[in-house]
Amino acid sequence: MMRQYQELKARHPGALLMFRLGDFYELFFDDARVAARELEIVLTSREVGKGRRVPMCGVPHHALTGHLARLVERGYRVAICDQVEDPRKARGLVRREVTRVVTPGTVMDAALLPAREHRYLASLGGGDGAWGLAAVDLSTGDFLATEIRGPDADRRLADELARLDPREILVPAGAVPSGGEGGAEQIASGRWTQYDAWRFDPGVARRALREHFGVATLDGFGCEGLALATSAAGALVGYLRGTQQGPLAHLRGLRVYSSESVLDVDEITRRNLELLRGRGDGGTRHTLIGALDETATAMGGRLLREWLLRPLVEPEGIASRHAAVGAALGERGRRETVRKTLRAMPDIARLVGRIGHGSAGPRDLCALREGLNLLPALRAEVERLPDARFARLAGAMDPHADVADHIARALVDDPPAGLRDGGLIREGYDPALDRLREAASGGKAWIAGLEASERERTGIRSLRVGFNKVFGYYIEVSNANRHLVPEEYIRKQTLTGAERYITPEMKEREAAILGAEERIAALELELFAALRGSVAGRAHSLLEAAAALAEADVLLALAEGAERWGYVRPEITAEPVLDIREGRHPVLERLLEGERFVPNSLSLDVRDRGLLIVTGPNMAGKSTLLRQAALITIMAQMGSFVPAAWARIGVTDRIFTRVGATDEIASGRSTFLVEMQEVSRILHGATGRSLILLDEVGRGTSTYDGMSLAWAVVEYLHDRIGARTLFATHFHELTELAEMLPRVHNIAMQVQEQGERIVFLHTVAEGRADRSYGIHVARLAGIPDEVIAQARRILAQLEAAAARPGEADAPPTPSRARRSRQLPLALELASPLEEELLDLAVETMTPLEALRVLADLRERARVRRSGSSDRRERRLQ
């Protein structure tokens, strides 16, 4: 057995081998150590002869799925070795084979896959600024390939990888590429799988693809001249053929795409804007996808994610999606009917995936049949939605009546989950099966009648016919009646109070029954496999119907969201503008329960108003305004309506953000360095069609340093790039740039002062903020009164000094201020009550208010006094 183990192990290097032994999957040697650690199961050992023991651990076969999930989730490859013959019949050692290899990128079990996300296995070839990238979602048959070239190729590759988020990336052995900026991260995540380099050879790869698709030429796939994309895709097919046993019938189409024809939102921006994952737990709760995903099916959910990851840049394509959403918006009743049916629809893409992969069970086929049966009605409703796009989608929703009918004829209504349980093929489907079943049931009926007839014949009233696994059928007679047993009975077993017998005729019948049952089981399996194979033959067109369903689902979901949240259809133009009336932040507006989200307008036009400097105190809503602009642009270009009263959006090629401090402590880079790297990326990559959001650039260094940088960045963006830019800053000095640079304008978040307090209005208006209110915010945060009061005094001194001519370039420092005795030396010198008195707006108070303030001041003076006397007493003790 160990020799068998070693042979199988050698054939699957780099994989943990789970070896079926009885009711367990066992692991040995190092595999056992790894699995014991990762699965937190007990490491034992097994004697392998001559007193030698080897480490071993195992999991019960029925618990395989959960353990497998854990190992694969952690990046391990696992080869599952099963017994491929009946142990009862095996002569000598049972034959075992590796029946599947599960790798992080080839997971098929429904329980291990996220319903609304693709799980990609990718393959990467090329290098040095010219990459070929292919990816496949084995569970749905999505198969895509692209080529990335040019000076910016490494960065775009890293972004594309981040977008696909593959669980596993194949690379030619010996050549782990840097993978651009994100390469280190990808390598660290252990996602790279080294695969035979010769498989990436263009000739070998092309042949693999031709063979897989059964075509003489690849011309139909649009990958002519794309040698790198072809070689990545071919290697991928080779790898799948090696690791998967099934026919892969669902991998029919290869979609060759260009990563350049989409709105480029890089990974940092995607994270900053929380498009798919939140910052906190990484879940989708407070994300754009969370706000938009009203889809009724998982297929729709996956497609919506794709649309969000790849918004369009072509005005006609965008407008076509908007038109369909608009049409659905006006048809509330029909929309609800369709969505109701969609909610009952199974995940056809994944079902077909399992069918094509050869891992589908009878219940999967029944689920497919039920889904297909829903299609005719659904299709009729979708067709009536008043837009050409829906007509096209309805056209693609072929209900595949013949497939549904075939499944219905072949399988019983409610088949068992497992294949080996039998009883899955319907009566009347296959004459040979029916005959066998008759034979078996005839034999059983004879045996069932045997008890009665033998009692009668022998006169033994307590005679019993039974069955057990060791002897098969037997006749049991109690000891009291032993003398009545006929001669032809053959004694087989003695119990304490009874004897068990068999008869030759009974054994003959038994053999017939068991033989028939065995053949029934084999035939059922065969018929099922043939049925599955025939459905798999239709995988391609079934997946097209599923894709149409998914798209209808997405369009209706966008209409649903638009209606529920009052979104409008944005006007899409090629002009470099971003004009939003009363825009809202799609995520925040839902979070502010009770409080109202305050809509804000924004108008950018590269030709005369391309760069807006946004000032306003902390917490006034600057970041929100910036993010809102980006989110609205992305929503518009992916085909959604937008949260605004009206919007006109010039198609954007790239969105850049430098928002907030990203936590890069783990990578060992200083926050300021990261900030500058991000700004550098923007200045190098942005074009006149980009949208740039800069929040607090220059904050991470000293004031003058930071301000100078911010200033220079604004000038560069204005003079050289001319992109639509929102620049939020706390350097109020920068607002003066509006007077020097024609296309720079100032806008400010409004606040209202009420005595010492400020109220954030969250509205934006033309103009600049003249104060930071940082001290107010500090007070809100609960900084002790004494510190606040002292900060106020220092600020007043600094402002006074800056206002004095001749001193502006030599601002006061603490030591200089102290020397000139401009600042009080100790915090205690002025009382906070005094400060408060100075701040009182006595002129506008009513007598009653004045009294209340006075009473309040006295009360606080009392508290202070008793507090300080307490302290004194404590010190005395």
Q: Among residues 624, 633, 637, 690, which is the contact residue for ligand ADP, using CB under 6 A? A: 624
How far is the C-alpha of 339 from the C-alpha of 787, rounded, in Å?
59
CB-nearer residue toward ligand ADP: 231 or 624: 624
| 3-class DSSP assignment, residue 466 | strand
The residue count for the chain: 877
Only one of the segments 274-282, 437-445, 618-626, 841-849 lies at the binding site for ligand ADP (rule: CB under 6 A); that segment is 618-626
Q: How far is CA 87 from CA 127, 210, 408, 563, 720, in A?
A: 51, 40, 34, 62, 77
Only one of the segments 315-323, 436-444, 617-625, 643-651 lies at the binding site for ligand ADP (rule: CB under 6 A); that segment is 617-625
Q: How far is the CB of 72 from ligand ADP (least distance, A)?
A: 39
CB-nearer residue toward ligand ADP: 96 or 622: 622
Q: How far is CA 507 from CA 332, 452, 504, 517, in A?
A: 69, 18, 5, 15
- Determine the size of the site formed for ligand ADP (CB under 6 A): 13
Q: How far is the CB of 603 from ligand ADP (least distance, A)?
A: 16
Only one of the segments 88-96, 611-619, 750-758, 853-861 lies at the binding site for ligand ADP (rule: CB under 6 A); that segment is 611-619
Whether the Cβ atoms of residue 91 and residue 65 lie closer than 8 Å to each other? no
Torsion angle of alpha carbons 106, 111, 115, 117, nearest 10°? -30
| 3-class DSSP assignment, residue 146 | strand
Only one of the segments 447-455, 482-490, 613-621, 702-710 lies at the binding site for ligand ADP (rule: CB under 6 A); that segment is 613-621
Residues 453-492 interacting with ligand ADP (rule: CB under 6 A): none
CB-nearer residue toward ligand ADP: 16 or 626: 626
Q: How far is the CB of 693 from ligand ADP (least distance, A)?
A: 11
- Is residue 621 involved in binding ligand ADP (CB under 6 A)? yes
Q: Among residues 116, 538, 622, 658, which is the contact residue for ligand ADP, using CB under 6 A? A: 622
SS (H, E, C) 599-639: CEEEEEECCCECEEEEECCCCCCHHHHHHHHHHHHHHHHHC
> In the block, which residue shows the tokens 């209340």?
852
Only one of the segments 364-372, 403-411, 622-630, 649-657 lies at the binding site for ligand ADP (rule: CB under 6 A); that segment is 622-630
| 3-class DSSP assignment, residue 172 | strand
- Is residue 620 involved in binding ligand ADP (CB under 6 A)? yes
Q: For ligand ADP, which residue has the nearest CB?
A: 621
Q: Among residues 230, 623, 657, 729, which is the contact residue for ligand ADP, using CB under 6 A? A: 623
How far is the C-alpha of 611 from the C-alpha of 693, rounded, in Å?
10
Site string for ligand ADP, 561-600 (x = CB under 6 A): -------------------------------x----xx-x
CB-nearer residue toward ligand ADP: 208 or 728: 728
Q: Residue 181 carries which DSSP code?
A: G
Both tokens of 419, joined, read 């294949």
Whether the Cβ atoms of residue 764 and residue 630 lie closer than 8 Å to each other? no
Residues 166-190: b if buried by 16+ CB within 10 A, e if exposed: bbbbbbbeeeebebbbbbeebeeee
Long-range CB pairs of 34-42 (<8 Å, 24+ gap) are: 34/76, 35/67, 35/71, 38/70, 38/71, 38/74, 38/76, 39/67, 39/70, 39/71
Whether the Cβ atoms of residue 190 and residue 77 lie closer than 8 Å to each other? no
| 3-class DSSP assignment, residue 411 | strand
Only one of the segments 265-273, 512-520, 619-627, 835-843 lies at the binding site for ligand ADP (rule: CB under 6 A); that segment is 619-627
CB-nearer residue toward ligand ADP: 113 or 734: 734
Distance of CA 463 to the CA centre of its chain: 65
- Is residue 643 involved in binding ligand ADP (CB under 6 A)? no
Q: How far is the CB of 291 from ligand ADP (least distance, A)?
A: 16
Site string for ligand ADP, 724-763 (x = CB under 6 A): --------------------------------------x-
Site string for ligand ADP, 29-58 (x = CB under 6 A): ------------------------------
Q: How far is the CB of 584 from ligand ADP (least distance, A)?
A: 7
Q: Write out the residues near ligand ADP by the rule CB under 6 A.
A: 592, 597-598, 600, 616, 618-624, 762
